Amino acid sequence: MNGYELIIALGIIGLAFMSYKNKLLNERLTAIDANCSTAMKNVESHPGFIEVDPNILIGGTSGWCRGESNIDRTCKFRHLCYIPRYEEFIFFHGSKTMQSGIPRDRFSPALADLSSVPNHNTQYFNYVDIPVEAILNFDKIFLLQGNSLIFNRFNPSNLMHVFHDDLLPLFHILSELHYDINTSNTRLVLFDGHKELEYFDLYKLFSSQLPLLKHDLNKSGNALVCFEKAFIGLSNETTWYQYGFEKPQGPLSNFRITARTIELFTAYLKSKIGVTSEEFSQNKLNGILIGRQTNRLILNEGELVMELARHLRVSIQLMYLEDVSLVELIRKISSANLLIGIHGSALALSMFLPKGAQLVEIFPYAVNPEHYRPYKTLVSLPGLEISYFAWRNMDKENTVFHRNAPKEFGGIDHLPLEEQNKILSSSEVPLHLCCNDPEWLFRIYQDTTVDVQSFISKLKKAMAEAKSDKGIDASASELYPWKVQEVECKKVTKTADIVSLEVFWQPPWNLKYFMKHEMEIQYEVWIQEAFVDNTKAWILNSTRYIFEGEFVADATYYVWIRCIIINNIGPFSSVSIC
Amino acid sequence: MNGYELIIALGIIGLAFMSYKNKLLNERLTAIDANCSTAMKNVESHPGFIEVDPNILIGGTSGWCRGESNIDRTCKFRHLCYIPRYEEFIFFHGSKTMQSGIPRDRFSPALADLSSVPNHNTQYFNYVDIPVEAILNFDKIFLLQGNSLIFNRFNPSNLMHVFHDDLLPLFHILSELHYDINTSNTRLVLFDGHKELEYFDLYKLFSSQLPLLKHDLNKSGNALVCFEKAFIGLSNETTWYQYGFEKPQGPLSNFRITARTIELFTAYLKSKIGVTSEEFSQNKLNGILIGRQTNRLILNEGELVMELARHLRVSIQLMYLEDVSLVELIRKISSANLLIGIHGSALALSMFLPKGAQLVEIFPYAVNPEHYRPYKTLVSLPGLEISYFAWRNMDKENTVFHRNAPKEFGGIDHLPLEEQNKILSSSEVPLHLCCNDPEWLFRIYQDTTVDVQSFISKLKKAMAEAKSDKGIDASASELYPWKVQEVECKKVTKTADIVSLEVFWQPPWNLKYFMKHEMEIQYEVWIQEAFVDNTKAWILNSTRYIFEGEFVADATYYVWIRCIIINNIGPFSSVSIC
């Protein structure tokens, strides 16, 4: 009985977090700074602009782009300028201008995207051409020395957008640019035009220098701000979700992010904010319920916490994004094995959950979890080993809607009566595009009373199933066999005209280092008669085989072999002749 | 008569260069070092390998690739290793491994090309996968710190190949990597397996550190050489010629190199070897005949020099690649306005000719200049302003062939008699693939007696025509108009139902800086009726126009405008409504 009481007590400690409510957003995020590791100590207090003589730029701008379209193109520029008066970038064409990868159709629609959200027309990058001789016509020239990465935060007030659209792509591109993000000396230039806003401190973690805002580039009159070395565009390499601009939202087809990238990213962030990974026991449940305070409420969150504690023998802390510092929340999540929350951007923090943890996402009435799965997709990445369970309120009695709210928070009173009634009588939001679908907003901003008994019994079942669900080894899927070695082929006489071919070889030399698994090793053997356009192939499990068949004694045969392990096909050996 | 005598005298001084013959290749190229600018003083005497603990690499290798196929793909690797025992690269898969842009089909045929010559099967790059736990199985680990660029020289004994395949791509990629080649700290690793060979000193000019050869990576036993930061692959961005591996040789379709890249490259090289651009007079002819000493001779080069001096009033220096230092040759060519030579790799140095110069390429009997034009394509780049004249020996009497030479130098005695006779009676080498076509080799290794009178009279004519051929302004073609400004649209009543549309706007703001030319400025106006799928377009020369037609008084019209100068189409203005 002691254990039981302790768990209840922890549950109540969790509830105590509620007393921290109502601090200002800006206040709570300053906590990140206090926790930062050494890299943050180098933050400058002022942007490093220096006024320079126009002759420094008289050779002109240079630009090198890579990629096929604005969606995947990134560019590097030397001496790219920005003119605050017109709010445009300028490419000065001079005698030292180099250009590559810049297509003639760079206005259709753009040279590059300034955010990782593809092809969004508020995120287009382009520049204005000017002959460098004209540089003397500008008032003053300020140069920002060193490396700058210029990009747009897509939606800097939303944690999901911050992590998915900005921070993970930043982590990826800075790693690529510097081969190792820890050696990055690139300054971030947040060109979206917003103020710092509540998550600005997170962006600070990606540079030893203070990020600049578009506003910081404002100089009066006809002045220019030029960048010594500017990198434009974020990578799409780490994104996994599309927000429904062109088709209903959902996971990107063929997204490429892996569990390891998530793990490297969260490890980087945790090291930057001073969160060390704590010991974590599979046997002791340690849960967090992320609550919301202004809308999309769980109306009985207190009861839910208490009952979860009682029935699951879990200590549940109820935490509000508005209350605790992000650092504190990340620290808690990093050592939790159960994270519960209603659908919302805070659940992006589930990427900090340790292996073996469980994410539970609650959906309001009439919202189909299958249609909104940024977090399910995230935590389901093979190798993350986080279980996911969606709980949907199916009981109309347990929902509270707000038909007279502002329309961006789901109000429908502004709609024609017929449309209102249609929405009110619908039991599931139909598929829709982003971002102003009234039925979607109406439903997602409902408050929910969770049917605690039903919730707990379904969760228990999900957790029991999750335990038997072992993660796959992500690294094994990257291991390819190399070429087979020492291929030999001999003709074995059968009749005067007909022979068999005896072929033998050694396994690839790298296989001896694949010690993790008992792997199935297969070999694909291709045999072609010289001057005949017909090749036959065999799949074998051994490194020696006698091929019977219509092989002609005085013909020449070419033999190629490649090794296959776990669907990974190695390269062919060079041709052998017999 | 004084002037005439002086010219003859200069012609003879030119001939005096012949006395420098027969120095060893290695000797003459050391001259480059002596002339090098400051960057060369930092060359290390020893490769910077340090032996490291395997734990330094225990996080594994990371790799980031860009590009669609091995032809255009380049990759960056952190902690890529090389195992001399197998002569293969190793990618260690560990917990900190990041991978992007690496396709599953990286063996079909390769992940990247190690040279700029596309898809050549001797130039493929790939790596062997090994789990990082196995790193303890290797004897010793040597780490090369800093940035390395690993590539193959394609044909390091041939000046055309050296410049076209290697040096220009190096210049381009190092500029892109470091935004400015002068700030590059990348070490070159020449992985082709050749020794330094005769042009090694040229490669030294592209790094402050001594280039490594593949041989320098050899460590005994099971040791590894690992690269802290390795860049793989050369750019195709600057190549203009294909050597005939898949179709007969010729200029690449859609090659992208421009005169400015050539000029920036030659300026860089000249600064590195201490050649300053000298004053150059259009009125004083200053010529160079590049002679050959071992094969493909101009049999009457002395007579040719004398007669050119006499008839063109030009001082001609006869110089042999085997005799003078490359520095000296580049210095001379940089201030010459006439360069003559028989088809051969030395003519790649024509890129150092100043504006207004003339390149004359001599072709042996039966070799059609139109089929072999690497140098014509080079010097004809718009903006280089170098005239090109091909002279072909059409007189069978003036050729000396070598049917009993080794076959790689054009001997044909090893061929069947019928084939020999066919070659001997042919008056033009048919189109052929690289690299062993016997008829091509037979003809290109002929010696030629130039018909001096015919040569001079044709050259005079070509030079007279060249003078009137003004170069175009390459930079103008890069200048695009920006968006038009302040678009307004008004309906002008014609009848109760029908209106005209009066549209006016301001030119793009960047046009006022295009001061070089009287440019034709055009505007393309698109007008669409709202909710109607039919858009009409007009091209105009003014910034105000009244569109007559079937415009309906109570319809809404959308108007877009873009500016066009010299075929460069600017971006559309945002839509205006009337």
pLDDT tens digits, one per residue of B404-448: 999 999 999 999 999 999 999 999 999 999 999 999 999 999 999
Average pLDDT (A252-263) is 94
Question: Any idea which residue has 């199916």 for tokens?
Answer: A394
Binary contact (B176, A100; C-beta < 8 A): yes
The helix or strand, by DSSP H or E, that contains position B264, with its residue range, turns out to be: helix B259-273
Binary contact (A99, B478; C-beta < 8 A): yes
- Per-residue pLDDT band at A390 (split at 50, 70, 90): very high
What angle separates helix A259-273 from helix A326-334, to the nearest 10 degrees?
Answer: 130
Alpha carbons B189 and B157: distance in angstroms, whole number = 17
Alpha carbons B74 and B66: distance in angstroms, whole number = 6
Chain B residues lying within 8 Å of A514, measured CB to CB: 131
- Per-residue pLDDT band at A431 (split at 50, 70, 90): very high
Binary contact (B229, A179; C-beta < 8 A): yes
Answer whether residue A95 shows pLDDT above 50.
yes
The confidence score (pLDDT) of residue B468 equals 58
- Our CA-based measurement puts residue A273 at a distance from the nearest CA of chain B, in whole angstroms, of 19
Inside any domain, residue B353:
yes
Q: What percent of chain B has pLDDT over 70?
A: 88
Domain span at residue A313? 250-401+446-468
Inside any domain, residue A409:
no
Residue that is last in its domain, among B202, B237, B272: B237
ipTM: 0.89
Q: What is the mean pLDDT of chain A?
A: 89
The confidence score (pLDDT) of residue A309 equals 92
Residues near B38 by beta carbon (within 8 Å), at least 6 away in sequence: none
- Per-residue pLDDT band at B281 (split at 50, 70, 90): low
Question: Both B232 and B256 in a single domain?
Answer: no
> What would the pLDDT profile of B25-72 be if each residue is shown by its tens digit?
333 333 333 333 333 333 333 467 899 999 999 999 999 999 999 999
Q: Which of A355, A513, A519 to mutate to test the interface with B (most CBs of B within 10 A)?
A: A513
Question: Any idea which residue has 């800075």 for tokens?
Answer: A174
Chain A residues lying within 8 Å of B175, measured CB to CB: 62, 64, 98
Question: Both A205 and A335 in a single domain?
Answer: no
- Our CA-based measurement puts residue A409 at a distance from the nearest CA of chain B, in whole angstroms, of 30
| φ, ψ at B350 (rounded to 5°) | -60, -20
Binary contact (A510, B128; C-beta < 8 A): yes
Beta-strand ranges (E) seen in B399-543 are 399-400, 447-448, 485-493, 498-506, 521-529, 535-540
- Our CA-based measurement puts residue A93 at a distance from the nearest CA of chain B, in whole angstroms, of 7
Q: What percent of chain B has pLDDT over 90?
A: 80
Question: Both B189 and B259 in a single domain?
Answer: no
Question: Both A458 and A550 in a single domain?
Answer: no
Answer whether residue A486 shows pLDDT above 80.
yes
The confidence score (pLDDT) of residue A5 equals 35
Binary contact (B516, A131; C-beta < 8 A): yes
Alpha carbons A273 and A270: distance in angstroms, whole number = 5
Residue B436: DSSP 8-state: -
Question: Both A79 and A226 in a single domain?
Answer: yes
Average pLDDT (A191-219) is 95
Question: Both A190 and A286 in a single domain?
Answer: no
Q: Which of A475, A526, A573 to mutate to test the interface with B (most CBs of B within 10 A)?
A: A475
C-alpha dihedral over B512, B516, B517, B518, to 10 degrees?
40
Q: What is the mean pLDDT of chain B?
A: 89
Chain A residues lying within 8 Å of B515, measured CB to CB: 131, 133-134
- Per-residue pLDDT band at A567 (split at 50, 70, 90): confident
Binary contact (B510, A130; C-beta < 8 A): yes
Q: Which range, of A18-27, A441-450, B540-549, averages the lowest pLDDT?
A: A18-27
Chain B residues lying within 8 Å of A126, measured CB to CB: 571
- Our CA-based measurement puts residue A211 at a distance from the nearest CA of chain B, in whole angstroms, of 21
Q: Comparing C-alpha atoms, which of A533, A575, A545 is closest to residue A558?
A: A575
Q: Which tokens go with B510?
A: 């960047």
Question: Both B198 and B137 in a single domain?
Answer: yes
Q: Which range, of A120-134, B266-280, B485-499, averages the lowest pLDDT?
A: B266-280
Q: Which tokens go with A333?
A: 């999540």
Question: Both B359 and B396 in a single domain?
Answer: yes
Burial class (CB in 10 A: 0-12, 13-18, 19+), B45: exposed
Q: What percent of chain A has pLDDT over 90?
A: 80
Residue B542, domain CATH:
2.60.40.10
Cis peptide leading into residue A571 (ω within 30°): no
Alpha carbons A227 and A77: distance in angstroms, whole number = 8
- Per-residue pLDDT band at A313 (split at 50, 70, 90): confident
Kindly list the strands in the beta sheet with A485-493, ordered across the sheet, starting from the edge strand earlier in the chain: A485-493, A498-506, A544-552
User: What are all long-range contacts of A291-295, with beta carbons under 8 Å and residues at least 24 apart?
Assistant: A291/A18, A291/A318, A291/A319, A291/A320, A291/A341, A292/A320, A292/A321, A292/A342, A292/A344, A292/A346, A293/A21, A293/A320, A293/A322, A293/A323, A294/A322, A295/A402, A295/A405, A295/A409, A295/A445, A295/A447
Q: Are B208 and B182 in contact (CB under 8 A)?
A: no
Question: Both A118 and A141 in a single domain?
Answer: yes
Inside any domain, residue A383:
yes
> What would the pLDDT profile of B284-303 be if each residue is shown by its tens digit?
778 999 999 999 999 999 99
> What would the pLDDT profile of B178-190 be if each residue is shown by its tens digit?
999 999 999 999 9
Inside any domain, residue A425:
no
Question: Both A213 and A262 in a single domain?
Answer: no
Q: Are B271 and B37 in contact (CB under 8 A)?
A: yes
Residue that is last in its domain, among B468, B500, B515: B468
- SS3 call for B109: coil
Inside any domain, residue B32:
no
Question: Both A282 and A184 in a single domain?
Answer: no
Chain B residues lying within 8 Å of A573, measured CB to CB: none
Inside any domain, residue B349:
yes
The confidence score (pLDDT) of residue A519 equals 78
Binary contact (A129, B482; C-beta < 8 A): yes
Number of domains in chain A: 3
Query: End-to-end distance of chain A based on CA atoms, in angstroms?
Result: 79
Q: Are B384 and B473 in contact (CB under 8 A)?
A: no
Q: Which tokens go with B180?
A: 């400015």
Residue A192, amino acid? D
Q: Comparing C-alpha atoms, which of A487, A490, A511, A500 is closest to residue A561?
A: A487
Binary contact (B475, A76; C-beta < 8 A): no
Alpha carbons B378 and B164: distance in angstroms, whole number = 10
Question: Both A256 and A377 in a single domain?
Answer: yes
Binary contact (B509, A93; C-beta < 8 A): no
- Our CA-based measurement puts residue B181 at a distance from the nearest CA of chain A, in whole angstroms, of 11
Burial class (CB in 10 A: 0-12, 13-18, 19+), B250: middle
Inside any domain, residue A27:
no
Alpha carbons B328 and B308: distance in angstroms, whole number = 22
Q: Are B153 and B190 in contact (CB under 8 A)?
A: yes
Binary contact (A131, B513; C-beta < 8 A): yes
Taken as a whole, chain A contains a residue count of 578
Residue that is last in its domain, among B185, B207, B237: B237
- Our CA-based measurement puts residue B107 at a distance from the nearest CA of chain A, in whole angstroms, of 5
Residue B380, domain CATH:
3.40.50.2300
Inside any domain, residue A420:
no
- Our CA-based measurement puts residue A107 at a distance from the nearest CA of chain B, in whole angstroms, of 5
Q: Which tokens go with A357?
A: 């943890």
Residue A388: C-alpha distances to residues A238, A258, A282, A428, B403 (Å): 21, 17, 16, 22, 80
> What would the pLDDT profile of B530-563 be if each residue is shown by its tens digit?
998 889 999 999 999 999 988 999 999 999 999 9
Closest Cβ–Cβ partner in A96, A126, A516 for B264: A96
The confidence score (pLDDT) of residue A132 equals 94
- Per-residue pLDDT band at A279 (split at 50, 70, 90): low
Q: Comparing C-alpha atoms, which of A110, A145, A141 is closest to residue A127?
A: A110
> CA of B148: which chain A residue's CA is closest?
A179
